[in-house]
């Protein structure tokens, strides 16, 4: 039977084993003519969402079981939800194989324990697991908890145990994670965002005010030009990519792909240009220079809605690769001079003529002028004619009725200057007037189903839910914290919505601590742990290697496969006293101590870490909400119970937490008060219901709330409808203020399923609910001119009708604020402006600058040879010693994903493992010829940190590029294999990658490092 890969998935996604085998030809052809019973008869249909990438595709799950008490449903078929407005019934190869993920042979069913030095798992009971884990945690906490720092400030922190949180669990689990960890004083609290899209928040928040995708998946179809760079959505987000194709077919959009590989997105693009991995900032700043030099700027938009006219402090400067304020000893900047020059009222001075030498406009022109087409080609290897053709296409959208949509993913975030790459794209879109517009924006394509939600919920070492910052030890009082975190208005008449920080924070404290939080104790301010530095993933690994961390809880996170430098991660975990892994699957992290030949060449007897492997539910077995890339919270329902003795994450955490609290009540201990003060008053504290927690995220009134005129706004106990109802007097509670409006008195807004699109522009506003306040396109006030009329009358988003703003979307703006008030559209920034100059919010400069990857193939920087690398990138001394040089490792390597596999999850699904069973790497024809390598040969790819072996795919998709006069080859390394799963055993790709991080988010540099390739 003839069949290609697409046909294979299409048939197998049918889900019934017998039917699939028949169609695959394992029974006589005549069987196809026999009468078969309709496969969905007597089934229960459950709506859910795909657990893989953040497109958030709809799924219909079919299970057998009559729903009677103690009867277990059995999931036997899954298909795409045809009503879903984004996926419209489609599933990609990963989604099509998800049934095999649910029923994987690697699903964990019973709690297991690995004793110190042991070479095997032993089954234990849940009671044994909970009791032992609680005891280990209490002992470590009592021995190492810091109530006060050396200066006598109350810090209430526990630094010797950390927690990694899932990026696929529900938002409700995420809030439980946060309360669990912070109440015990953990600062080493992280989620997958640190290792993927951390630079997105670091870059977009200073640029526009929020760190999220500005538009949404369906809106991509409205673009006139689509720039895909730093991502490959045809491969990594195949169903979301249909909106790119729709823009081409229905809107005649020009699709541009810039990437080190001629990838699947490039295969359908109108223009493709290669570039060297790690040179993106130079390319984008070259585009900025082109737009400025050729006057391809939407001037009215730029003058009215960006900080181009504002004047920068006289102390600011940039010289030879360094901004003003650099301290060589600390490798940090004093950012005092990266600010506006202020008048007597504290407002930024401005020059609307744009002639002042220190206005942002002129500083930007000077900074960008160095990025000529010739220099871009020299650094990036991109032919000048290709670069100029792309600039010309982008420039066509500087007019009001054309837009560019920028799509990117980890190809921009995984660099030591990843935040600044994204910043450069944000500046391009501001110059073109494409932010806030239909078909415009910066669309960060997130790679995990709920990494957006776990970022929203503040599961990062220095964060709190709703993008509030966790207080530092220098903010010794609530008053000091609020003063330092609440921005002052920098231009008169601006919305400056963060001025409401006190309302958000006090309402969070009331949600956390309930009646225990009172004004007299500063709403429980002292109970929160206070940080002295970032305890991000790279810091955690360093602390483990140094013996400064004893315990680790890893929930739905394959850290051994995800941390930079797998060998360092192994050393780190080997130094732990205990490791608790909560996961549906067997992971390399849980089995880091097992010997698996050269894939994991270790000696179990020498590793003294106690390891617990706790089986959790998967997405199809839980209820709750997940937030896709479009900020859309979609509620999903459980179709079955977890297998064996597996439990929901919330139940596992709840049981450990209750054991710990009971130990402190019975035995006492160090700093019991913060732990016991946390509100955990659920109807079943051992297993909090998703509905309860979702309502908690939304928030409610704790007393009758009245407005300034004394009119009743909320009754006591009523769910909030908007964050505008929050108060700073203790009368409201909300665990995540940006989620206010998700569960109102009208019910669960996240469960809405109306896919009507009357405009035809993808404004599907009644499908689920998007934060903030169901706005689908952020900054949409910028879609209208300063007088309130739509820039593009044919695609009106919102307009001023003389009394209020109205249109297709919920206004991201005060609804009655008249245009003559001249309040800027970027309401989360204190000047209301989009930032071409990012002020002091980024650690490595207010303007983007090209710095070489920390492992550079040239070892020099044509812009400033004395400052080759990002001077403030995260780099520990032991990791600096493990960096390679081009004389030994001459090739540039970059990691990426392939369509059939998702990170290290779907290799556990047999269908996906069949489609991509064996590890491979891609090399170009020139490199293959030089090394005597043929397609299918085994090759050894080495870096300074280790090696992997894989089959060679020889391809013309990877071009040899001329970089600064030197011929450079690129090696493509998919990052999916390991020593656990249904696929053949392979090497973890992060064996090769360096432990060096972005200067702002500490996200590791997986996308540009040096290797050597040899035929085995």
Taking CB atoms within 8 Å and a gap of at least 24, the contacts of 928-935 are 928/952, 928/954, 931/1013, 931/1014, 931/1015, 932/1015, 933/1013, 933/1015
Mean pLDDT confidence for 592-614:
98
> Among 626, 583, 584, which Cα is nearest to 450's?
626
Give the pLDDT confidence score for residue 5 in this predicted structure. Answer: 55
Do the bridges between strand 58-64 and strand 44-49 make them parallel or antiparallel, or are there none, so unpaired?
A: antiparallel
Q: Using alpha carbons only, give the angle 561, 144, 609 rounded to the nearest 5 degrees.
A: 40
Predicted confidence (pLDDT) per residue in 948-988, tens digit: 999 999 999 999 999 999 999 999 999 999 999 999 999 99
Q: Which residue from 559, 530, 536 is spatially nearest to 461, judged by alpha carbons?
A: 536
Return the percentage of the chain with pLDDT > 70, whole number: 95
> How, if at all, do strands 468-469 and 463-464 pair?
antiparallel
Considering only residues 22 and 822, tell me which one the structure prediction assigns the higher pLDDT. 822
Burial 302-330 (b: 16+ CB within 10 A, else e): bebbbbbbbbbbeebeeeebbbbbbeeee
- CA dist., res. 331 & res. 963, Å (int): 28
Q: What is the mean pLDDT of residues 241-268?
A: 97
Write out the two tokens for 863.
């812009």
Name 392's Cβ contacts closer than 8 Å, sequence gap at least 6: none
pLDDT of residue 21: 37
Calpha distance 211→456 (Å, rounded): 10
pLDDT for residue 68: 62
Which of 571, 563, 521 is closest to 546 using CA atoms?
571
DSSP state of 720: P
Closest listed residue to residue 596, CA positions, set 570, 576, 573 = 570
Instruction: Give dist(CA 148, CA 443) in Å, integer.
Output: 43
DSSP state string for 953-969: EEETTB--EEETTEEE-
Read off the pLDDT of residues 532-551 as tens digits, 9 standing for 90 and up. Answer: 999 999 999 999 999 999 99
Output the pLDDT for position 113: 98
- Residue 22 pLDDT greater than 90, yes or no: no
pLDDT at 568 over 60: yes
Listed in sequence order, the DSSP H helices in 923-987 are 925-931
Q: Could you tell me the pLDDT band of residue 37, with boundaries at 50, 70 and 90?
A: low
- Residue tagged 């060998």 (tokens): 567
Q: For residue 707, count CB atoms less than 10 angstroms from its CB and return exposed for 0-12, middle for 13-18, buried for 19 or more.
A: exposed
pLDDT in tens, 289-335: 999 999 999 999 999 999 999 999 999 999 999 999 999 999 999 99
Residue with tokens 């994450």: 649
pLDDT tens digits, one per residue of 786-812:
999 999 999 999 999 999 999 999 999
Other C-beta atoms closer than 10 Å to the C-beta of 245 total 15
- Does the reported pTM lie above 0.75? yes
The pLDDT value recorded for residue 11 is 53
SS3 content of the chain, % helix, strand, coil (to 5): 30, 20, 50
Measured in degrees and rounded to the nearest 5, phi and psi for residue 825 equal -75, -15
* DSSP per position, 126-146: HHHHHHHHHHHHHHHHHHH-E
Contact status, residue 843 vs residue 834, Cβ threshold 8 Å: no
| pLDDT above 90: percentage of residues in the chain | 94
Identify the DSSP state of 538: H
The two beta strands, 551-555 and 966-968, are unpaired
Whole-number pLDDT of residue 66? 62
What's the average model confidence in pLDDT over 628-655?
97
Give the pLDDT score at 900: 93
* Residue 465 Cα distances to 127, 186, 296, angstroms: 32, 15, 40
Tokens at residue 61, please? 């799950």
Choose the weakest-confidence range: 40-54, 308-322, 643-657, 739-753: 40-54
- Please say if the pLDDT value at position 26 is more than 80: no
Q: Return the pLDDT at 69.
A: 62
For 158, other C-beta atoms within 10 Å of its C-beta total: 25
pLDDT of 27 over the 90 cut: no
The pLDDT score that the predictor gives to residue 139 is 98
Residue whose pair of structure tokens reads 């179709």 in the numeric block? 639
Q: Is the pLDDT of residue 637 over 70?
A: yes
Tell me the pLDDT band of 782, cut-offs 50, 70 and 90. Answer: very high
Of residues 78, 82, 81, the one with CA closest to residue 101: 78
pLDDT at residue 708 in the model: 85
Two structure tokens written together for 907: 């290799």
Order of strands across the sheet with 74-80?
A: 44-49, 58-64, 74-80
b/e map 537-547, b = 16+ CB within 10 Å: bbbbbbbbbee
Please compute the mean of the pLDDT values over residues 391-420 and round it to a whole number: 98
pLDDT tens digits along 78-119: 999 999 999 999 999 999 999 999 999 999 999 999 999 999
Mean pLDDT of 914-943: 97
Given pLDDT bands bounded at 50, 70 and 90, which one contains residue 42?
confident
pLDDT at 7 over 90: no
Confidence grade of residue 43 (pLDDT, cut at 50, 70, 90): confident
Taking CA 500 as the corner, what is the angle to CA 496 and CA 502, rounded to the nearest 5 degrees?
A: 145
Separation of alpha carbons 486 and 493, rounded Å: 17
Average pLDDT along the chain:
95
Which of the pair, 31 or 852, is modelled with greater confidence?
Answer: 852
What's the confidence (pLDDT) of residue 311? 98
Q: Tell me what pLDDT residue 71 has.
A: 66
Q: How is residue 321 written in tokens?
A: 């690769």
Residue 344: alpha-carbon gap to chain centroid: 41
pLDDT at residue 424 in the model: 98
Who wins on pLDDT, 6 or 577? Answer: 577
- CB neighbours of 845 closer than 8 A, spacing ≥ 6? 318, 323, 333, 338, 420, 838
pLDDT given at position 4: 58
Confidence of residue 40 (pLDDT cuts 50, 70, 90): low
Per DSSP (E only), the strands in 398-464 are 404-408, 442-444, 463-464
- ω into residue 772 within 30 of 0, thus cis? yes
pLDDT-based confidence at residue 3 (cuts at 50, 70, 90): low
| DSSP bridge pairs for 743 | 748
Per-residue confidence (pLDDT) for residue 592, from 0 to 100:
98
Q: Is the pLDDT of residue 691 over 90?
A: yes
């Amino acid at each position: 039977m003839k069949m290609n890969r697409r046909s294979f998935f299409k048939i197998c996604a049918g889900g019934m084993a017998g039917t699939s085998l028949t169609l695959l030809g394992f029974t006589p052809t005549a069987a196809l003519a026999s009468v078969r019973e309709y496969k969905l008869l007597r089934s229960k249909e459950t709506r859910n969402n795909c657990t893989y990438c953040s497109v958030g595709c709809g799924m219909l799950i079919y299970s057998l079981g009559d729903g009677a008490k103690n009867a277990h449903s059995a999931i036997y078929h899954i298909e795409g939800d045809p009503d879903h407005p984004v996926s419209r019934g489609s599933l990609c190869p990963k989604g099509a194989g998800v049934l095999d993920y649910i029923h994987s042979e690697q699903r964990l069913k019973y709690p297991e324990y690995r004793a110190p030095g042991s070479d095997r798992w032993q089954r234990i009971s849940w009671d044994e697991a909970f009791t032992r884990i609680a005891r280990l945690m209490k002992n470590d906490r009592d021995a190492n908890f810091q109530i006060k720092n050396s200066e006598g400030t109350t810090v209430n922190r526990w630094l010797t145990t950390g927690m990694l949180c899932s990026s696929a669990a529900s938002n409700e689990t995420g809030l439980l994670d946060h309360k669990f960890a912070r109440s015990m004083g953990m600062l080493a609290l992280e989620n997958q965002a640190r290792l993927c899209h951390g630079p997105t928040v670091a870059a977009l928040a200073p640029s526009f005010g929020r760190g999220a995708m500005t538009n949404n998946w369906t809106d991509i179809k409205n673009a006139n030009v689509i720039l895909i760079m730093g991502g490959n959505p045809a491969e990594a987000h195949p169903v979301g990519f249909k909106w790119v194709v729709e823009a081409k077919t229905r809107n005649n959009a020009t699709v541009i792909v810039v990437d080190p590989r001629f990838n699947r997105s490039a295969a359908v693009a109108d223009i493709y240009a290669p570039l060297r991995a790690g040179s993106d900032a130079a390319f984008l700043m070259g585009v900025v220079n082109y737009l400025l030099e050729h006057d391809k700027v939407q001037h009215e938009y730029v003058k009215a809605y960006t900080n181009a006219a504002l004047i920068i402090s006289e102390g600011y400067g940039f010289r030879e690769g360094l901004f003003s304020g650099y301290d060589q000893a600390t490798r940090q900047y004093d950012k005092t001079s990266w600010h506006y020059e202020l008048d007597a009222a504290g407002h930024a001075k401005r020059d609307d003529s744009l002639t002042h030498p220190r206005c942002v406009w002129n500083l930007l022109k000077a900074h960008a002028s160095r990025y000529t087409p010739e220099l871009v080609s020299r650094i990036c290897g991109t032919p000048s004619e290709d670069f100029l053709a792309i600039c010309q296409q982008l420039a066509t959208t500087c007019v009001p009725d054309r837009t560019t949509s920028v799509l990117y993913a980890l190809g921009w975030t995984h660099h030591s200057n990843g935040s600044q790459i994204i910043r450069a794209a944000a500046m391009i879109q501001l110059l073109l007037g494409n932010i806030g517009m239909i078909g415009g924006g910066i669309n960060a394509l997130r790679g995990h189903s709920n990494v957006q939600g776990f970022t929203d919920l503040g599961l990062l070492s220095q964060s709190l839910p709703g993008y509030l910052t966790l207080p530092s030890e220098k903010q010794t009082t609530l008053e000091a914290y609020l003063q330092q975190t609440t921005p002052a208005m920098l231009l008169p008449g601006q919305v400056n919505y963060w001025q409401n920080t006190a309302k958000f924070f006090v309402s969070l404290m009331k949600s956390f601590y309930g009646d225990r939080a009172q004004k007299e104790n500063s709403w429980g301010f002292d109970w929160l742990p206070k940080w002295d530095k970032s305890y991000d993933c790279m810091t955690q690994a360093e602390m483990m290697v140094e013996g400064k961390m004893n315990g680790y809880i890893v929930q739905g996170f394959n850290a051994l496969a995800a941390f930079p430098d797998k060998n360092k991660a192994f050393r780190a975990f080997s130094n732990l006293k205990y490791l608790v892994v909560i996961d549906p699957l067997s992971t390399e992290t849980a089995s880091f101590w097992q010997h698996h030949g050269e894939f994991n060449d270790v000696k179990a007897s020498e590793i003294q870490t106690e390891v617990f492997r706790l089986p959790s539910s998967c997405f199809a077995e839980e209820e709750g909400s997940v937030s896709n890339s479009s900020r859309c919270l979609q509620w999903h329902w459980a179709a079955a119970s977890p297998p064996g003795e597996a439990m929901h994450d919330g139940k596992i955490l709840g049981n450990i937490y209750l054991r710990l609290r009971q130990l402190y009540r019975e035995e006492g201990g160090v700093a019991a008060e913060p732990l016991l003060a946390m509100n955990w008053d659920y109807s079943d504290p051992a297993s909090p219901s998703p509905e309860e927690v979702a309502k908690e995220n939304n928030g409610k009134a704790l007393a009758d709330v009245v407005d300034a005129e004394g009119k009743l706004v909320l009754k006591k106990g009523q769910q909030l409808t908007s964050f505008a109802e929050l108060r700073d007097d203790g009368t409201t509670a909300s665990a995540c203020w940006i989620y206010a409006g998700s569960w109102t008195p009208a019910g669960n807004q996240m469960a809405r399923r109306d896919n009507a699109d009357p405009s035809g522009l993808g404004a599907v506003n009644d499908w689920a609910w998007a934060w903030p306040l169901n706005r689908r396109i952020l900054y949409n006030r910028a879609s209208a001119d300063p007088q309130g009329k739509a820039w593009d009358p044919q695609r009106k988003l919102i307009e001023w009708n003389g009394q209020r703003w109205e249109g297709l979307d919920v206004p991201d703006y005060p609804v009655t604020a008249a245009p003559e008030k001249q309040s800027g559209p970027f309401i989360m920034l204190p000047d209301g402006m989009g930032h071409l100059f990012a002020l002091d919010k980024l650690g490595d400069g207010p303007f983007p600058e090209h710095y070489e990857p920390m492992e550079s193939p040239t070892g020099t920087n044509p812009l400033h040879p004395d400052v080759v690398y990002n001077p403030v990138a995260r780099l520990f001394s032991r990791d600096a010693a493990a960096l390679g040089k081009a004389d030994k490792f001459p090739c540039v390597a970059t990691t990426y994903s392939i369509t059939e596999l998702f990170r290290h999850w779907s290799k556990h699904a047999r269908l996906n493992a069949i489609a991509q069973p064996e590890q491979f790497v891609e090399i170009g024809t020139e490199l293959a010829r030089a090394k005597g390598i043929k397609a299918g040969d085994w090759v050894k790819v080495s870096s300074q940190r280790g090696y992997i072996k894989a089959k060679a795919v020889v391809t013309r998709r990877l071009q040899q590029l001329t970089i600064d006069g030197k011929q450079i080859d690129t090696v493509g390394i998919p990052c999916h294999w390991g020593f656990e799963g249904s696929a053949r055993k392979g090497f973890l790709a992060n064996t090769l990658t360096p432990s060096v991080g972005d200067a702002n988010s500490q996200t590791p540099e997986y996308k540009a490092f040096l290797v050597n390739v040899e035929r085995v």
